[in-house]
Amino acid sequence: MHFKIKTIAATVAAAAVLAITLTGCTGFADYSRELTVVTHDSAVFSKEQLAEFKKETGITVKQVKAGDAGAMTNKLVLTKSQPIGDLVYGIDNTFAGVATDNKIIDGDLRAIDFGDVCMNYDKFWFAKNETPAPSSIKDLTKPDFRNLTVIENPTTSSTGLSFLAATVSGFGANGWEQYWRALKANGVKVAAGWEDAYFTDFSGSSGKGAYPIVLSYSSSPAYEVRADGQSQTAAILDGCYRQTEYAGVLKNAKNKDGAAKFIDYMLTPSFQKTLPTSMYVYPVLAGVKLPAEWAKFATVSDNPVGGELNVNVSRKEWFEKWSAIFSEN
């Protein structure tokens, strides 16, 4: 009996040594050479970028898309003890408080890019229908624009929450709920996230949807330029909310060093110059050259609203009131 136990112990020990040896030889479970980046659905990393990062560091990057920014942040909160990745990119200033309150980030969130969340409209649709286009978010509640607008759900989408914050700021504590009731009564469609709203429902994008007004970004018209050199869309620069996106190393990550290196890489000119063309956003790094189309079609708002609000403190109350409005008959 003692001999048998001793033999089993020796076998287990030998197997452990063999496993360690194989790991060292093959690279299996060598987390220092593998990196998982959790992003929202709209984040794009090119093959060239990932190859450049691997050449510099020897680290292979895997991207995991986890829904819109709000859904992604909530998922990271629920999985923080066993994170689904090593770092996150795409948490913005409307959801950053959720990340810090729930302590899912190791260290600080670092700003990577910014953009103005604004309403966009399809110029071709309004010209074809001989209808004046909206010039303010106040217009969206008018009968002329009934059943023409699609937005994103603020409880799951960072763009949706940005617009909700903009309406709180613009219409005040006593007026924003009234605005949303009027918007609902005027037939606004609520999509789960930006991709669905912009690429499926919006008439001015590749989806050729049924809604000529969409909640998107002031930079979006720069990517709807047609053969004649004109953009099919335009942004309403009234009622825009400035959104900043961050990256951060996740608590309990397997490869924290690699995650920190990738964030550093995202702040290099090589990466930052790709942000306008890959993700429709402005780089945070000063001096990065922007595409020529941006000067004409991607104007930032001169007067973004909502920056004075504490979104983290008010989020729950806003969500409850907004959800109550959209559950009313």
Whole-model pTM: value is 0.79
Other C-beta atoms lying within 10 Å of the C-beta of residue 55: 9
Rounded to an integer, the average pLDDT of 185-210 is: 94
Query: Are residues 198 and 206 in contact, defined by beta-carbon separation less than 8 angstroms?
Result: no
Task: Please report the pLDDT score of residue 30 as a whole number.
Answer: 64
The CATH number of the domain holding residue 275 is 3.40.190.10
Query: Is the per-residue pLDDT at 17 higher than 60?
Result: no
Task: Please report the pLDDT score of residue 186 as a whole number.
Answer: 98
149 and 252 share one domain? no
Tell me the per-residue pLDDT of 127-171, one tens digit each, with 9 for 90 and over.
999 999 999 999 999 999 999 999 999 988 889 999 999 999 999
Task: Please report the pLDDT score of residue 32 as a whole number.
Answer: 80
227 and 167 share one domain? yes
Cα 273 → chain centroid: 18
Rounded to an integer, the average pLDDT of 271-294 is: 91
174 and 90 share one domain? no
Tell me the per-residue pLDDT of 71-106, one tens digit each, with 9 for 90 and over.
899 999 999 999 999 999 999 998 899 999 999 999
Query: Is the per-residue pLDDT at 188 higher than 90?
Result: yes
180 and 232 share one domain? yes
Other C-beta atoms lying within 10 Å of the C-beta of residue 268: 13
107 and 216 share one domain? no
131 and 229 share one domain? yes
Task: Please report the pLDDT score of residue 27 as a whole number.
Answer: 45
Query: Is the per-residue pLDDT at 37 higher than 90?
Result: yes
pLDDT confidence bin for 24, thresholds 50/70/90: very low
Task: Please report the pLDDT score of residue 29 as a whole number.
Answer: 53
Query: Are residues 63 and 37 in contact, defined by beta-carbon separation less than 8 angstroms?
Result: yes
Q: Of 208, 215, 210, give the one whose Cα is nearest residue 232.
A: 208
139 and 280 share one domain? no
Length of the chain: 329
198 and 282 share one domain? no
| Pairwise CA distance, residues 306 & 311, whole Å | 9
Per the structure, the complete domain to which residue 65 belongs is given by 2-114+244-289
157 and 89 share one domain? no
169 and 225 share one domain? yes
319 and 230 share one domain? yes
What is the β-pairing status of strands 233-250 and 105-122?
antiparallel
63 and 148 share one domain? no
pLDDT confidence bin for 31, thresholds 50/70/90: low
Query: Is the per-residue pLDDT at 4 higher than 60?
Result: no
Torsion (CA) 298, 243, 37, 39 in degrees, nearest 10: -80
250 beta partners: 105
Quote the number of domains for the chain. 2
| Pairwise CA distance, residues 157 & 142, whole Å | 25
Tell me the per-residue pLDDT of 43-61, one tens digit each, with 9 for 90 and over.
999 999 999 999 999 999 9
What is the β-pairing status of strands 149-152 and 105-122?
unpaired
* Residue-by-residue DSSP string for 73-136: HHHHHHTTTS-SSSEEEEEETTTHHHHHHTT-EEEEEEEEEEEEEEEEEEHHHHHHTT-PPP-S
Query: Is the per-residue pLDDT at 12 higher than 80?
Result: no
User: CA angle at residue 47 from 46 to 51, to 5 degrees?
Assistant: 120
